[in-house]
A and B are shown apart, each in its own frame.
Chain A
Amino acid sequence: MGDVVQLLTENGELREDEVYSRYVEELDDAALRDLYRHMALERRVDAEATSLQRQGQLALWAPALGQEAAQVGTIAALKPTDRVFPTYREHAMALYRGISPEELMATFRAARHTGWDPHTYHFNNYAVVLASQTLHAAGWAMGIVQDQRTGTLDPDQPADEIVLACLGDGASSQGDAHESMVFASSYQLPLLYFIQNNHWAISVPSSTQSPAPLVRRAYGYGFTGVQVDGNDVLASYAVARHCAEQIREGSGPQLIESITYRLGAHTTADDPTKYRSAEEVEVWRAKDPIARCRSWLQAEQKADETFFEETDAEADELAAELRRAVLEMEPIDLERVFDTVYAEPHRQVEVEKAWLKDYEAGFAEEEGR
């Protein structure tokens, strides 16, 4: 188990680590700058989406503010073909995989069940039912193992695919998470659990989920886990690389507990001032992952001012694109909403569709008067 892995200190100084430093050393300056860039882009998208929700253009938004390093570092450590099973907050991961702001926003505008094709990006749809995605991830990983065993792997599917199951500290208490980990362990699945311990599950502090560090759960299931400073993008990258490599080599499942903090509200429908103190937030604001990375890049002269200006400009463009896309988004087609729940016709769905149509007709009648 050991301590929380940290490579970049809160003061922006690089630390040596026997196991993990080498992964960062492999990255050239362009790659390091790219980590920063992805974090900065997501933060700008996050702010624009929050504003759009406040302007009535999105039904809801779940900000990832403060968790950019945890997400970018981890996704950057995977291969683009590794399958990701996200929660509803993995925006930095989604954007990193190339999902467009428009695709990302569709569900938050209630315009689509989902905005992207999971197979295109090897990135599953957002899961709001807590920890349900951990079962899907285990199932997907079991599929990989079975295909490998029976030699029925799709020709275009890489032979060394691994699976990332994202979950929160709160979701870790779900029965689904337990079942998933049991199966992952029993079948020695190529599955990496990525818990973003952002200290809160809406208004419930993570200390309520478990008096012991969540990472220890892994040992109970019979696999290893590591705690990483989730506000340190370098450590997040290195730890995920390390775990991913071991899993690819057949270690079986592993778990990362990424210690981070949700600086924003749980969602736009939440008011965090009701359950946590301003002082607590200030403590974490001082550990801002993006500022930390930026000051290190500057101090090491790995990035110049032009780079930061260009990144800001790119972020503004992305935000403008996001706003435009949201305002112009095709509205939801209700037939399609019902018809795409199941592949085949389903009577329960038919009942609900009929109900909604009748409900709508309740308005139309008067319109004719």
Chain B
Amino acid sequence: MSQTFTLPDVGEGLTEAEIVSWRVQVGDTVAVNDIVCEIETAKSLVELPIPFAGTVDELVAAEGDTVEVGQPLIRIRDAAGADDDAGDDAGGADGAARAAAEDESATRDSGAQDSEAQDAAAQDSAAPGAATQDPAAPGAATQGAAAQPAAETSERPAADSPIVEDSDQQALVGSGPKADAAKHRPRLRPTELDLVEVSDLDPPTPAAPAAGLQAGDIAEMVAKASPPVRALAKRLGVAVWDLVGSGRNGQITRADVERQAQQRSGQGKAGRSRAAGAAAPGPHGGLPSQTGLLYDGPREEKVQVRGVRKATALNVSASASTVPHVSVFKEIDVSRTMDLRRRLRDQPEYQDVSVSPLLFAAKAIIWAVRRHPQVNASWHETHYTLRNYVNLGIAAATPRGLVVPVIHEAHTYSTLGLAAAITELTSDAREGRTTPAEMQGGTISITNIGPLGLDLGTPILPPGQAAIVVLGAVRTKPWVVEGQVVPRQVMTVGGSFDHRLIDGDLAGAFISDVAAVLEEPGLLLD
């Protein structure tokens, strides 16, 4: 015989919980009140003690599952009943018969009920389902949250209690006594407050209702849908007060809300158009979202954060909240660099590599780092580490998100070698081939926002680095040269720095040196 422990309401009016961890495995022996699992509800982490003794037969829900109150969690095989398990499968018929009997007989004494349960269990030997029954459990005679868990009657098992028999799992769930039936029956109508004459009572004054929403509606809605379900409805743009709940006591479940959201988006596809005009806003006037959405999809959508997005979020929030950033910028004439770029591109050995402003900026950074070692460092509160080498991180926007692959020992590369390295690195990044190792160990970074058509930005420092250089777009602009306004190729170069290590003057000197090289690439010939 096995007994099923279903998820109880361990808080006040909770409707669901997530299985955090199982403390037992199939085959383990348990005693009454042994802790079998830890669950997380909207309110708290809770350890659940098992109400039966025996052997664990099945863990019905998996870790990470969200289970509704009343749904099965674990089945325990009663040690005493383990032997009678073989036998004919009388489960369905017997279960139905028993349910019928229970419907007729509302006032059986618990002893009679108990023995019937025993009989049923003995006959109904379809493993692993036969069960003994606890004579009583809190039921749901009252449907208000406050009144849970009042037992329906002590003589009959309330099947939405945490302890249900499952000699016939399918047949009995949903066909038991009234309390169980209530669980699966939707509410057909709201209940009004003014059912009796109250003329000579001080009427209860409800809180000011929201526009178009009656106080009764609010109360009804609050009673019908738990906070997590209301939150889901809000996210999906579903009007909870329009739903008829299919859950226990007419409660609106996640599934009800999701179904409604799906139906609505189905309707939208089936021919709703903006031309239909905006519906009047308000709970009973239909949702404007049916015609007023921006694109084909739910009104609000919860998107799981994972992968590169998650890593980026962690890195930038750690960096932004612990590193005091300081930024400086300089607008410069890069015409000579652009000339040099053109000439290099004409060289046969540069045919297969990309010769971009990024290449010259990389060279310029390595050149400037020699003069200002402190920008190529990392801060450790009690000390900082100067790096006598450059591992150059290059931020790349990829379809997967932002990655910052690193050219290790960048200072050892020739210009051609660096061009080749950058070319390879950026194409690897774009195609998602960058390995985790290639993203480690950067000492200083560069981000090129020029291709985005942008001039200025204040990047967040990669973890463990003290400087990141930002390159703007190269534009032909009027520039004053020797008293003459002439068109020149101009860009803004700047960067963000760890102010704990780098003051504005050092940041300025460093950026000015980077700028100097980009203005006069001949400086690289030193």
Contacts and interface: CB of A to CB of B under 8 A. Distances in A.
B154 A329 contact: yes
Contact of A332 (B6, B134, B150): B150
18 contacts: A55-B50, A55-B163, A56-B149, A57-B138, A59-B148, A59-B149, A110-B149, A111-B150, A327-B134, A327-B135, A328-B110, A328-B154, A330-B154, A347-B201, A351-B198, A359-B143, A362-B187, A363-B187
Nearest to A53: B10
Given A55-B163, A362-B189, 15 more contacts: A51-B49, A56-B8, A56-B161, A56-B163, A57-B162, A58-B138, A59-B149, A110-B149, A265-B44, A271-B44, A328-B135, A362-B188, A362-B191, A362-B250, A366-B186
A84 interface: no
B257 interface: no
A110 B182 contact: no
Given A54-B8, A268-B11, A271-B45, A363 B250 contact: yes
Interface in A39-67: 47-48, 51, 53-60
A350 interface: yes
A366 B201 contact: no
Interface in B367-398: none
Contacts of B204: 348
Interface string B76-113: 00000000000000000000000000000000001000
Contacts, number: 150
A328 B141 CA distance: 16
A331 B182 CA distance: 17
Contacts of A270: 43-44
Interface string A16-48: 000000000000000000000000000000011
B349 interface: no
Given A56-B163, A109-B149, A347-B201, A331 B187 contact: no
A355 interface: yes
Given A328-B110, A348-B201, A109 B162 contact: no
Interface in A239-287: 265, 268-271, 273-274
A58 B149 CA distance: 7
Contacts of B188: 362, 365-366
Nearest to B153: A331
Nearest to B193: A355
B191 to A, nearest CB: 4
Contact of A356 (B142, B200, B201): B142
Point out which of B45, B196, B204, B250 has the most chain A C-beta atoms below 10 A from its C-beta: B196
B12 A269 contact: yes
Contacts of A59: 9, 12, 138, 148-149
A367 interface: yes
Given A54-B47, A55-B8, A363-B185, A110 B200 contact: no
Contacts of B153: 331
A347 B201 CA distance: 7
A65 B304 CA distance: 41
A25 to B, nearest CB: 41
Contacts of B152: 331
Given A54-B46, A55-B49, A269 B192 contact: no
A111 B141 CA distance: 11
B138 A273 contact: no
A329 B138 CA distance: 9
A329 B142 contact: no
- For B11, B48, B50, B139, the residue with the greatest tally of chain A CB atoms inside 10 Å of its CB is B11
B147 interface: yes
Interface residues of A, number: 43
A269 B201 contact: no
A53 B8 CA distance: 8
A33 B47 CA distance: 33
> Which applies to chain B's interface (DSSP): helix, strand, loop or mixed?
loop
Interface string A103-134: 00000011100000000000000000000000
Interface string A321-353: 000000111111010000000000001101100
A48 B12 CA distance: 19
B191 A358 contact: yes
Of B141, B143, B194, B198, most buried by chain A (CB within 10 Å of CB) is B141
Interface of B: 5-6, 8-12, 33, 43-51, 110, 134-139, 141-144, 147-154, 161-163, 178, 181-182, 185-196, 198, 200-201, 204, 250
Central interface residue in A47, A56, A268, by most chain B CB within 10 Å: A56
A51 B134 CA distance: 16
Nearest to B46: A54
Those 7 A-B pairs whose CB atoms lie nearest each other, nearest first? A56-B8, A271-B44, A56-B162, A331-B151, A332-B150, A269-B11, A359-B191
A269 B44 CA distance: 8
A354 interface: yes
Contact of B138 (A48, A109, A271): A109
Interface string A143-169: 000000000000000000000000000
Interface of A: 47-48, 51, 53-60, 109-111, 265, 268-271, 273-274, 327-332, 334, 347-348, 350-351, 354-356, 358-360, 362-363, 365-367
Contacts of B50: 55
B191 A355 contact: yes
B430 to A, nearest CB: 45
A365 B190 CA distance: 13
Contacts of A367: 178, 181, 185
Nearest to A52: B51
Nearest to A354: B195
A55 B51 CA distance: 6
Contacts of B192: 355, 358
B288 to A, nearest CB: 30
Contact of B9 (A56, A347, A355, A360): A56
A39 to B, nearest CB: 21
Nearest to A47: B33
A316 to B, nearest CB: 11
B69 to A, nearest CB: 8
A332 B142 contact: yes
B45 A327 contact: no
A366 B191 contact: no
Nearest to A60: B12
A55 to B, nearest CB: 4
Contacts of B49: 51, 54-55
Contacts of A327: 134-137
A111 B151 contact: yes
Nearest to B69: A56
Nearest to B191: A359
B271 to A, nearest CB: 33
Given A270-B43, A271-B44, A367-B181, A355 B148 contact: no
B182 to A, nearest CB: 5
A334 to B, nearest CB: 6
